[in-house]
């Protein structure tokens, strides 16, 4: 079975202690509904933008935002499809598991959905590669040669077996190892980087260590791509010692969730005079859809939650009674939007930080 080679350095231990402390703060912060959903929306958009940008996708963050809202943007079909694919995967992480475990089927499905209609040949979606590949730098020079194609199925089998037995290993460390190992094996012709980052996110989600989908590591990688590539390439081919990569991964994890903590501190309910409202998962799904798309209709709620028209109206009525959403239009043109402008304030604040 796969056995990762690493040892805990002082820097790693210190980062893990700080990460746990920040995680506890975020988990106990009295977030209002608008803030909670807005943080999730921003994390989704940033993940979709930055993870695809790392692989060369040309869309800007503003274009991604418009694309998700259904607005027209001037871009190639493949570029738009890549972003929408990645976003769809992250929105539906709970669909990629079998009894809480990650299986070969899970990973193949992840890759299929991430690369849907973006590869030269559709039969390559969700299929292990059958040809040798090389990882090259921007100058076309080979910097890494993944395992031979004949070794891919067995290496993936050992990797997946290990992944489901990491109960005692720190979840963040395990996620870092998962990210690297999938990139090392390079089981697919294309889309390995996006699949590795999505797989690490899925692992953290299953281990309930994703801070309710509030943050993303993809922005950290994209902000300094060369450091990201250098960290991945820091692992010695023979010894496979992961220390330098894990130092980089944990530092990025700490930086990413620290930004979320700082943002939460700026908008704690005590400062805004709001009280936290308890909502069911279906109500949260409705609000997340509105945050992403800008509005929602009764028929869209029916599709989203797989419920009747009356059931959809009941859930929308509940959110209106809580003064969270407003009804617009009339008759068949009725749609619903967020009543509170808080999410706009959050989005503007985060966008300003990016600039």
Domain count, the chain: 2
**E strand intervals along the chain:** 135-136, 142-144, 325-328, 335-338
The least confident of 52-56, 151-155, 215-219, 268-272 is 268-272
Q: Is residue 193's pLDDT more than 80?
A: yes
Q: Is 257 found in the same domain as 281?
A: no
pLDDT mean over 283-289: 86
| Cα–Cα distance for residue pair 113/82, rounded to 1 Å | 10
Phi, psi at 249, each rounded to 5°: -60, -45
| Cα–Cα distance for residue pair 219/255, rounded to 1 Å | 11
Q: Is 71 found in the same domain as 186?
A: yes
Among candidate residues 229, 244, 266, the one where a domain is terminated: 266
pLDDT mean over 271-286: 70
Q: What is the pLDDT of residues 87-141, one digit of tens each?
A: 999 999 988 988 889 999 999 999 999 999 999 999 999 999 999 998 887 778 8
pLDDT mean over 27-53: 87
Among candidate residues 266, 296, 314, the one where a domain is terminated: 266
- What per-residue confidence (pLDDT) applies to 140? 80
Q: Is residue 283's pLDDT more than 60?
A: yes
Q: Is 179 found in the same domain as 284?
A: no
Contact 284, 46 (CB under 8 A): no
- What per-residue confidence (pLDDT) applies to 342? 45
The least confident of 207-211, 296-300, 302-306 is 207-211
Please state, in angstroms and as integers, the Cα–Cα distance from residue 44 to each residue in 84, 85, 87, 346, following that order.
11, 12, 6, 14
pLDDT mean over 263-285: 69
Among candidate residues 222, 246, 266, the one where a domain is terminated: 266
Phi, psi at 5, each rounded to 5°: -105, 105
Q: Is 140 found in the same domain as 98?
A: yes
% residues pLDDT > 90 (the chain): 67
| Cα–Cα distance for residue pair 272/20, rounded to 1 Å | 27
- What per-residue confidence (pLDDT) applies to 277? 67
Residue, of 269 and 80, whose pLDDT is higher: 80
Q: Is residue 270's pLDDT more than 60?
A: no
pLDDT mean over 279-305: 88
pLDDT mean over 210-239: 91
- What per-residue confidence (pLDDT) applies to 20? 94
> How many Cα atoms occupy the beta-carbon half-sphere of 1 within 13 Å?
7
Q: For residue 284, give the H/E element and its range.
A: helix 281-293
pLDDT mean over 60-73: 94
The CATH number covering residue 329 comes to 1.10.10.10
The least confident of 69-78, 144-153, 305-314, 333-342 is 333-342
Please state, in angstroms and as integers, the Cα–Cα distance from residue 65 to each residue in 16, 37, 48, 190, following that order.
33, 16, 10, 25
Q: Is 246 found in the same domain as 104?
A: yes
Q: Is 22 found in the same domain as 73?
A: yes
The CATH number covering residue 256 comes to 1.10.3290.10
Q: Is 157 found in the same domain as 47?
A: yes
- What per-residue confidence (pLDDT) applies to 269? 58
- Token pair in block for residue 85: 């694919």
DSSP output for 200-265 = HHHHHHHTT-SGGGT--SHHHHHHTHHHHHHHHHTS-TTT-B-HHHHHHHHHHHHHHHHHHHHHHH
| Cα–Cα distance for residue pair 219/46, rounded to 1 Å | 7
Nearest to 218 by CA among 190, 242, 199: 199
- Buried b / exposed e over 86-107, threshold 16 CB at 10 Å, is bbebbbebeebeeeeebeeebb
Phi-psi region of 199 (alpha: psi -120 to 50; beta: other; left: phi over 0): alpha
**Residue 142 located in a structural domain:** yes
| β 135-136/142-144 pair status | antiparallel
- What per-residue confidence (pLDDT) applies to 99? 83
* Mean pLDDT of the residues in the chain: 89
Range of the domain at 300: 277-354
Nearest to 91 by CA among 259, 250, 291, 277: 291
Q: What is the pLDDT of residues 72-84, one digit of tens each?
A: 999 999 999 999 9
- What per-residue confidence (pLDDT) applies to 324? 87
- What per-residue confidence (pLDDT) applies to 65? 93
Nearest to 32 by CA among 286, 212, 267, 281: 267
**Residue 4 located in a structural domain:** no
- Token pair in block for residue 276: 């936290």
pTM over cut 0.85:
no
Q: Is residue 211's pLDDT more than 80?
A: no
Q: Is 214 found in the same domain as 181?
A: yes
Q: Is 17 found in the same domain as 163?
A: yes
Count of other CB atoms within 10 angstroms of residue 67: 21
Quick one: pLDDT band at residue 275, thresholds 50, 70, 90?
low
The least confident of 31-40, 141-150, 165-174, 331-340 is 31-40
**Residue 117 located in a structural domain:** yes
Q: Is 164 found in the same domain as 38?
A: yes
| Cα–Cα distance for residue pair 114/123, rounded to 1 Å | 14
Quick one: pLDDT band at residue 15, thresholds 50, 70, 90?
very high
Q: Is 104 found in the same domain as 26?
A: yes
**Residue 315 located in a structural domain:** yes
Q: Is 39 found in the same domain as 186?
A: yes
Phi-psi region of 138 (alpha: psi -120 to 50; beta: other; left: phi over 0): alpha
- Rg (Cα) of the chain, in Å, rounded? 21
């Amino acid at each position: 079975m796969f056995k990762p080679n690493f040892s805990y350095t002082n820097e790693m231990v210190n980062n893990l202690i700080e990460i746990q402390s920040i995680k506890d703060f975020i988990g106990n912060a009295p977030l209002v509904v608008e803030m909670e959903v807005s943080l999730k929306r921003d994390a989704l958009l940033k993940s979709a933008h930055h993870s695809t940008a790392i692989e060369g996708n040309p869309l800007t963050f503003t274009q991604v935002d418009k694309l998700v809202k259904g607005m027209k943007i001037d871009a190639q079909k493949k570029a738009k499809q890549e972003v929408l694919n990645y976003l769809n995967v992250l929105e539906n992480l709970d669909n990629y598991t079998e009894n809480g475990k990650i299986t070969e089927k899970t990973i193949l499905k992840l890759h299929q959905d991430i690369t849907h209609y973006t590869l030269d040949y559709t039969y390559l979606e969700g299929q292990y590669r059958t040809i040798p590949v090389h990882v090259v730098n921007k100058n076309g020079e080979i910097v890494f040669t993944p395992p031979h194609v004949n070794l891919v199925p067995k290496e993936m089998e050992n990797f997946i077996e290990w992944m489901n037995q990491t109960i005692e290993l720190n979840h963040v460390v395990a996620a870092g190892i998962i990210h690297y190992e999938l990139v090392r094996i390079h089981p697919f012709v294309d889309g390995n980087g996006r699949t590795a980052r999505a797989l690490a996110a899925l692992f953290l989600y299953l281990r309930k260590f994703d801070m309710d989908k509030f943050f993303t590591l993809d922005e950290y990688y994209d902000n300094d791509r060369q450091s990201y590539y250098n960290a991945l390439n820091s692992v010695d081919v023979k010894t496979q010692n992961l220390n330098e990569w894990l130092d980089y991964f944990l530092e990025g994890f700490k930086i990413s969730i620290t930004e979320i903590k700082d943002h939460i501190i700026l908008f704690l309910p005590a400062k805004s005079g709001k009280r936290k409202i308890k909502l069911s998962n279906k109500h949260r799904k409705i609000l997340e859809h509105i945050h992403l798309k800008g509005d929602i209709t009764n028929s869209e709620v029916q599709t989203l939650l797989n419920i009747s028209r009356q059931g959809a109206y009941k859930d929308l009525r509940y959110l209106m009674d809580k003064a969270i959403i407003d009804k617009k239009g009339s008759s068949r043109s009725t749609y619903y939007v967020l009543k509170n402008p808080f999410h706009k304030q959050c989005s503007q604040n985060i966008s300003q930080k990016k600039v």
